[in-house]
Amino acid sequence: MMKSCLVLVLFPVFISGCCPPKAWTGKNFANYASGKVHLEILQDVFYDNGMMTVHQNLTSDDGTLTRQTIYLNYLTGIQYVLNGDGRCENSSITFTGVGESCIPDNATISKSYIGAGANKIPTTMFRLIGNGFLTYLSVIDNGCVPLMYETTGTLPTGDGLKLTVEYFGVVAVKPDAKIMKMPASCMM
Ligand SMILES: *[C@@H]1O[C@H](CO)[C@@H](O)[C@H](O)[C@H]1NC(C)=O
Ligand SMILES: *[C@@H]1O[C@H](CO)[C@@H](O)[C@H](O)[C@H]1NC(C)=O
Ligand SMILES: *[C@@H]1O[C@H](CO)[C@@H](O)[C@H](O)[C@H]1NC(C)=O
């Protein structure tokens, strides 16, 4: 009896059922580094049932500012990048696990919290491997709300990559349908 209790405690903990809200909006601050490219990215994020719209401002090391809107379709795995000049380009989605689907059952977890005393908020950090990327995703337990995301790996070009994303002001609301709609120039 005693022995089996100990075994339970000693094994790594796996849990399932952490699924972010089906619809949410928020702001992200992201830091992207790969090869010679280093970008600071501010994003307004809108998510609705497998579809994500991201308005983003990218600032490179030399101060160049680029504004883009990305339409990510997690159901097909394709993303559409609308540039400032109206051009739209499609490509495969490289990064997943940023709050758009349930966390896989085989992720290893570390329990923690933010805040102190009576106000502490339980959080969980998940460690995942997929697509050749090692990812740490922290969520607030109540609602599986994304908090922080960090991934490292190698891009198809062979360049190493590190991407860190911090989530601010996530609200579980359905975004405006107008924001989710792709412009005609992206419908290829
Ligand atoms: C991007 O920059 C524009 C102009 O400064 C600003 O209005 C917009 O809110 C910024 N977007 C984000 C996601 O920070
Ligand atoms: C991008 O769109 C073109 C034209 O529809 C298509 O042939 C191509 O397969 C698409 N690329 C990806 C990565 O989906
Ligand atoms: C979990 O499963 C995926 C795909 O089934 C696999 O690629 C990955 O290595 C597994 N382990 C972890 C820790 O994510």
41 domain residue, yes or no: yes
The pLDDT, as a whole number, for residue 97 is 59
Q: Which residues pair with 53 in a beta bridge?
A: 46, 71
* pTM score, whole prediction: 0.86
Q: Is 137 in the pocket of ligand 3 (CB under 6 A)?
A: no
2 domain residue, yes or no: no
Q: Which residues pair with 31 in a beta bridge?
A: 40, 164
- The pairing of strands 37-48 and 23-34 is antiparallel
Q: Is 104 in the pocket of ligand 3 (CB under 6 A)?
A: yes
Number of independent structural domains in the chain: 1
- Residue 112 to residues 22, 59, 153: CA-CA distances in angstroms? 24, 33, 25
15 domain residue, yes or no: no
1 domain residue, yes or no: no
Average the pLDDT over 124-152 and give the result. Answer: 91
Average the pLDDT over 123-147 and give the result. Answer: 91
Ligand lying closest to the C-alpha of residue 107: 3
- Residue 142 to residues 34, 66, 135, 175: CA-CA distances in angstroms? 34, 35, 21, 21
- For the chain, what percent of residues have pLDDT higher than 70? 89
- CB 137 within 8 Å of CB 103: yes
Query: Cα(21) to centroid of ligand 1, in Å?
Result: 25
Ligand lying closest to the C-alpha of residue 79: 2
Lowest mean pLDDT segment, chosen from 13-27, 111-125, 152-166: 13-27
Quick one: residue 120, left, alpha or beta (phi over 0 = left, psi -120 to 50 = alpha)?
beta
CATH number at residue 162: 2.50.20.30
Confidence of residue 146 (pLDDT cuts 50, 70, 90): very high
Query: Which structure tokens are listed for 29?
Result: 């601050």
The pLDDT, as a whole number, for residue 96 is 67
The pLDDT, as a whole number, for residue 31 is 96
Containing domain of residue 136, as a range? 21-181
The pLDDT, as a whole number, for residue 112 is 92
Locus of tokens 């400032």? 84
What are the pLDDT digits (tens) for 20-37? 999 999 999 999 999 999
30 domain residue, yes or no: yes
Query: Which structure tokens are listed for 110?
Result: 């570390």
